[in-house]
Amino acid sequence: MALTSTENLKQKFDSDGLAFIPSFRSKREIADIQNNLERIIGDVVPTMPVEHVFYEDKQDLSTLKQLQNLHLHDEYFGQLMSNSPFRELAENLLDSRVVCKNMQYFNKPPKTGLATPPHQDGYYFKISPCEAITMWLALEPVDHENGCVRYIPRSHLEPMRPHASTGTLGFSQGITDFPTADDSANEISFPAQTGDLLVHHALTIHRATANRSKIRTRKAIGLIYYREDVTEDLVARATYQGELIKEMKAKQRI
């Protein structure tokens, strides 16, 4: 019997720890998201706590690189996270109801947009079992020049790799033994067009290169959903977040 596209996608996600869905959202829907981002960057971002707003250079507002918890700060993004095809997809791929955990805006500004260090999202999450999904929606064309995402397929089937501090704002922890020979042999880059969606399991190793363009931005939305039955180590998470905020403030990065 032929598999439906959702079943195919789930098989791919389960076996590779990632999936690529071209044109998940239309150009018109992406324009709507872009317009709402512009609105909140003007109206809402100035009211957000500093630990949810990251700039490559905080003296230069044009270097905005990351916003955290958009779904909590604005009704439009709240709906996009919790009452949307993204949530439906997360429930299908995790085969469960889900908890809406984080919606992020990612940019790599021209000239200053740094690389995303290799990491596994589960290292930050402190959940057990490590069953969660991250989605990454391209808001514009993303390629080798402006820093596309790269994955190690099937890495979610292996144990968590060792991580340590990277000094990178927004991606504070990176894998210390990357790349192994296997990492280098298996890594795949995913250039994306506007509206394409990447999804990955919380244990899938991924990274992105820096933005080497002098003029192009590299904008995307990230959505994180936990499987409903996971247990979060709230103490470990709060300790980690608290130390991180202290360090970022001490270094005057936020």
Ligand X SMILES: O=C(O)CCC(=O)C(=O)O
d(CA 76, CA 58): 26
- The residue from 105, 222, 226, 227 that contacts ligand X (CB under 6 A) is 222
Token digits for 25?
């959202």
CB of 198 to ligand X, least distance (A): 8
CB of 15 to ligand X, least distance (A): 20
Residue 220's CB is within 10 A of a number of other CB atoms, namely 24
Taking alpha carbons only, the member of 183, 188, 12 closest to residue 89 is: 12
Tell which positions 110-129 bind ligand X, by CB under 6 A.
Answer: 116, 121
- The residue from 136, 151, 190, 226 that contacts ligand X (CB under 6 A) is 136
CB of 224 to ligand X, least distance (A): 8
Assess 103 for contact with ligand X (CB under 6 A): no
- The residue from 138, 175, 197, 208 that contacts ligand X (CB under 6 A) is 208
Q: Half-sphere exposure of 28 toward its Cβ, with a 13 Å CA cutoff?
A: 0
CB of 175 to ligand X, least distance (A): 12
Smaller CB distance to ligand X: residue 4 or 253? 253
CB of 126 to ligand X, least distance (A): 15
Chain residues in the site for ligand X (CB under 6 A): 106, 116, 121, 134, 136, 149, 206, 208, 220, 222
